[in-house]
Amino acid sequence: MNDLFYQQFPSLQRRQEGNSFVFLDGPAGTQVPQSVIDGISHYYLNSNANSHGAFITTQETDQVIDGTREKVAAFLGAEGPHTISFGQNMTSLNFSLSRAIGRALQPGDEILITQLDHEANRGPWLTLREQGIIVKEIPLLPEGVLDYEALEQLLSNRTRLIAMGWASNILGTINQVHRVRSLAYRVGAWLLLDAVHYAPHFTIDVQEIGCDFLLCSAYKFYGPHVGLLYARPGMLDRLQPDRLRTTYQHAPYSIETGTLNHAALAGVSAAIDFIASFGKGNEFQEQLVDAMHQLRQYEQERFRELYTGLSAIDGVEVYGPGINDGDRAPTIAFNLPNMNADTACELLAQHHIFAWSGHFYAIRSTEVLGLLESGGVIRMGISGYVRSEDINRTVEVVRELATS
């Protein structure tokens, strides 16, 4: 967002042969600030223990777990820490949740998924077909947005769940979740949102949305690898997750398996504190909301520079919706006219520019758009530490590659 923000990330100071790096790989995971590294180290140095014991380090561990639930609840606008569960990653949590929801369904019940989503929000639901659940796909249109008219036609009195990403991790498309929430209400279906790609860039208020479940991952917003689950009050208690006899039988613990990664949770707490430190307000949540608004504005400015610069290069084909702020996250997917995505990213890396190639586990959308057989796309994304000079450098290198 500014020089002070940039300076908090030790990895950004690294050089190779005197050259700095351009980190446009944020959609696959961001760099972490020093305060997150310190938070994890402090836990290991001072409080490393299992939970729910009588001595000081275990009590401090309990404080880390409980405190992080409170921080995540504030970050997501949730009703309280009792709505927040932790897991190894979003994929693992969603598989656990799908099995629990599957036990509450009957053969012939229906689930809607999308052709746009990451496989982490498709595969867990597709496995339920083994027990007679009907899984329908909401189509993806050529311009990279979902077909909402088709969605309405797919709904029935047997629809039990709509599982949808909030923002596409490959195209940056932002889905119309409020519209979908209204449609779900119409048939009495639950709404589950994959916010992994949305949470790093936009303010979330789960109570305002009215979703039943929401999942995201802290390593996408400057934290460590931890999966986060919001479940509307009462929802988890209606389900039967996989659990041991010794596991607490009520939310938020019932879906958590084994010993949590306590040090990583300390890092999650530190990451949310880090974001809030750039915001204004009397209350912690007010600071978070203000900081996320600032972050969004900064990222959209840098993204406009990147999108405009790349789109102006002859032969570069950009995929997904247009540049309007409300239409997309700061992620761009494109291809060059004279080479595949893998080769392009290898050449970009030689210029110390970090980007990804392929389908990024959004393999269904890559198939539908006819991009899979050719190797997928080049993906770049804006994080809060990407500067205008990074964008200028990237556009110039891509221009050279496109004409080579």
pLDDT in tens, the chain (404 residues): 678 999 999 999 999 999 999 999 999 999 999 999 999 999 999 999 999 999 999 999 999 999 999 999 999 999 999 999 999 999 999 999 999 999 999 999 999 999 999 999 999 999 999 999 999 999 999 999 999 999 999 999 999 999 999 999 999 999 999 999 999 999 999 999 999 999 999 999 999 999 999 999 999 999 999 999 999 999 999 999 998 887 788 999 999 999 999 999 999 999 999 999 999 999 999 999 999 999 999 999 999 999 999 999 999 999 999 887 567 999 999 999 989 999 999 999 999 999 999 999 999 999 999 999 999 999 999 999 999 999 999 999 999 999 98
Phi, psi (5° rounding) for residue 313? -85, 130
State the Cα–Cα distance between residues 109 and 101, nearest whole angstrom. 11
**The pLDDT value given to residue 325:** 57
Q: Which helix (H) or strand (E) holds 19?
A: strand 19-20
State the Cα–Cα distance between residues 214 and 166, nearest whole angstrom. 9
Query: What's 171's DSSP letter?
Result: T
pTM of the model: 0.97
**The pLDDT value given to residue 1:** 66
Q: What is the dihedral of CA 13, 393, 167, 218, to 10 degrees?
A: 0
* Token digits of residue 237: 């208690």
State the Cα–Cα distance between residues 310 and 381, nearest whole angstrom. 13
State the Cα–Cα distance between residues 348 and 262, nearest whole angstrom. 37
* Token digits of residue 87: 């897991």
**The pLDDT value given to residue 324:** 77
Residues 255, 181, 184, CA angle at the centre, nearest 5°?
Answer: 85
**The pLDDT value given to residue 244:** 85
In order of their start, the domains of the chain are 3-33+285-402 (3.90.1150.10), 38-276 (3.40.640.10)
Give the distance, in angstroms, between the CA of residue 1 and the centroid of all CA atoms in the same chain: 20
